[in-house]
Amino acid sequence: MQSEPSPKSREPAPATARDVAGFGLFWPGKAAAFAEAALPPRSTLVARTPNAAAAHSVIAGDNLEALRLLRPQLAKAVRLVYIDPPYNAGAEYLYADTFHTATGDGRRHSRWLDLMAPRLVLTRELLRSDGVLFVSIGDHELAHLRLLCDEVFGEENFVACVPRIAKRTSNKGTHFAPSKDYLLAYARDLRQLPPFHDVIDRDYEKRFRGKDERGRFATVGLYQNALDPRPNQRYWIACPDGSLAIPPGETFPDALEDGAFVTPRSQKDRVWRWSHQSYRERRELLVWKKSKRSPLLAPGGGASPWNVYTKYYLEDRLRTGLRPRDFLDGLTNDQGTAELKALGLDDCFPFAKPVGLVQRLLQWIAAKDAVVLDYFAGSGTTAHAVLAENAADGGTRRFVLVQDGAPTGRTDFATIADLTIERIARAKARLDAERAPRPGEPREFAVFDVRPD
Ligand SMILES: C[S@@+](CC[C@H](N)C(=O)[O-])C[C@H]1O[C@@H](n2cnc3c(N)ncnc32)[C@H](O)[C@@H]1O
């Protein structure tokens, strides 16, 4: 698969619309790499287990052939693709992570792009119109991957580049201790990708300490220091004892009455979050709290004894959902290692991603019946996440995983695919032991081999 491209394929033939326009990413062999996606499969999927019709599948073999073979069955059917390809970072423990020659010339990136280009083209074909791709990637290939995805998916379908804190304790590196990687996300069609939802967990719910006739609420200051002055947002607010309060500043409304406003004259004149019109319409959402350290001013410029807050309700947040932040913390690599260890698979696989990372993606897309594809399966984290998330929320998501048969040199797991399969079996057994599967809950997985014709 990583064979040298023929001299012909080194010629800069146009591969994509961007090439025709003369703008974009170029590497020797690009046209040949894109052409790979259109080739018919030269192998067959052969069931290794008797349950070929099981809900989930694991395919042992090269992922380019597997994607070609999956095309008839999965075209426009996949809601979420998560892949974690080699980062090309020069580490080589169990699987090839380095795609360059000893001289370190431009081939370093070319060979990696040869690997990714045809697979991404086929990924796009398999995604539903509301489908999304997430790729874990490090700094070595982030820039190239982004340009490549811009070509394959269209720049307009870029969703986000989400940094993830991957480790905290490393002191390696010359200037910085590398601690993060990224999740690059592209939609099949951004206009059809529903907004993402973050799950509202117990910790978040704890913020809603207040309660009134409408339900549980939390409060947030109506004055925020970071707000730049804007017209219509500097006005007096009447407090419960009849006194007036206004954000810090030097300019005050002429009239000493509730709602009287003034246009800020300089950066020093700070403002409320709401315009005075909103304030009049939504006054029932206000909460006043006495505070000795209130930043607000009273008439005459002295400190106000009050601070002013607005309520927001748990019920509203549950209905509209939370937008996830575009960075990830609390999902570090050591969790992935610990999860393998907990299944009795210590020292089997380096850099397994935490199950929670893939569960987070499943929660973001909020499709309980999603078909989920991961064709750089490694230790099978994605399958584990799908099973765990189905168990947690009653979903019927199905996974399709692909992992090649790279030899491990070990006696217990001869190939990485063997390890993938064993990990999924152990994760499933663990979940089954915790709770019997619900009727209809997809737990069984079939194994297939990519057999050359
Ligand atoms: C970074 S690891 C994925 C780790 C995985 N996310 C986990 O949590 O365990 C990349 C995996 O892709 C596999 N791989 C690389 N090239 C492949 C190919 N052409 N076909 C199938 N698998 C491949 C490697 O063997 C390796 O297991």
- Round to whole Å and give the CA distance between 373 and 74: 10
Reported as a single tens digit per residue, the pLDDT across 441-450 is: 999 999 999 9
For the segment 220-266, what is each residue's pLDDT rounded down to a tens digit?
999 999 999 999 999 999 999 999 999 999 999 999 999 999 999 99
Nearest CA to ligand 1 atom 3: 378
Q: Which of 165-169, 274-278, 286-290 has the lowest mean pLDDT?
A: 165-169
- Protein residue with least CA distance to atom 27, ligand 1: 378
> CA–CA separation, 163 vs 324, rounded Å?
13
pLDDT at 428 over 50: yes
Which amino acid would we find at residue 6?
Answer: S
Pairing of strands 78-83, 127-137: parallel
**Which ligand 1 atom sits nearest the alpha carbon of residue 336?**
8
Rounded-to-integer distance, Cα 357 and Cα 30, Å: 32
pLDDT at 415 over 80: yes
**So what's the pLDDT on residue 2?**
44
The CATH class that applies to domain 39-199+322-452 reads: alpha beta
From the CA of 85, give the closest atom in ligand 1: 10
CATH 3.40.50.150 domain extents, the chain: 39-199+322-452
Write the pLDDT tens digit of every residue in 18-77.
777 788 899 999 999 999 999 999 999 999 999 999 999 999 999 999 999 999 999 999
Å from CA of 378 to ligand 1 middle: 4
* This prediction's pTM: 0.82
Write down the pLDDT at residue 5. Answer: 46
Distance 173 CA to ligand 1 centre (A): 25
User: Which of 419, 394, 438 has the alpha carbon at shortest distance from 340?
Assistant: 419
Structure tokens at 139: 């700094």
Please check the confidence at residue 101 and state whether its pLDDT lies above 60: no
Beta-carbon contacts of 426 under 8 Å, excluding residues fewer than 6 positions away, are: 343, 344, 345
Phi, psi of 236 (to 5 degrees): -75, 140
- Closest Cα to residue 35, out of 63, 75, 5? 5
> Which residue spans within 15-67 are E strands per DSSP?
43-47, 56-60
In this structure, the number of other CB atoms found within 10 A of the CB of residue 125 comes to 15
> What is the pLDDT at residue 22?
80
180-187/306-313 β-pairing: unpaired
Selection from 130, 180, 156 nearest residue 326 by Cα: 180
Q: At what angle do helices 416-434 and 381-393 cross, to 10 degrees?
A: 20
Any residues with Cβ below 6 Å from ligand 1, and which? 1, 62-63, 84, 86, 95, 336, 349, 351-353, 376, 378-379, 381, 402-404, 406, 416
CA of 348 to the centre of ligand 1 (A): 14
CB 449 within 8 A of CB 60: yes
> Cα–chain-centroid distance for residue 19?
29
Task: Report the alpha-carbon angle 178-183-185, nearest 5.
Answer: 155
Give the pairing of strands 306-313 and 286-290. antiparallel
What's the Cα-to-Cα distance from 383 to each of 201, 356, 358, 439, 444, rounded to whole Å?
Answer: 23, 12, 9, 19, 11
Give the pLDDT band of residue 104 (cuts 50, 70, 90): low
Q: Provide the sign of the torsion angle of the four alpha carbons 352, 356, 357, 363, taken in this order.
A: positive
